[in-house]
Amino acid sequence: MLRNGLEPWHLLVVAVVFIALFGSKKLPDMARSLGKSARILKSEARAMRSEEEPAAPVGSPPGDGSGPAAGR
């Protein structure tokens, strides 16, 4: 039934509706704020990843015989 669900003219209709609803003056502002939000999201995700990486204790590597399992 929906073999070719998204045709190029569908995108054209969506673009015309967006321009009609929001006006040509607000669209650049919306795109700018969306880009700024994406940059903030990326930087926060990168910061969270960098906080999680040094989870291992800094100093001696694991299994060097100094831990509680060394006596086994």
CA–CA dist 32, 35 (Å, integer): 5
Rounded alpha-carbon distances, angstroms, from residue 8 to 2, 12, 19: 15, 7, 17
Task: For the full predicted model, state whether its pTM sits above 0.75.
Answer: no
CA–CA dist 67, 55 (Å, integer): 17
pLDDT recorded at residue 20 = 86
Residues 6-34 have a mean pLDDT of 86
pLDDT recorded at residue 32 = 93
Output the CA torsion sign for 36, 39, 43, 49.
Answer: positive
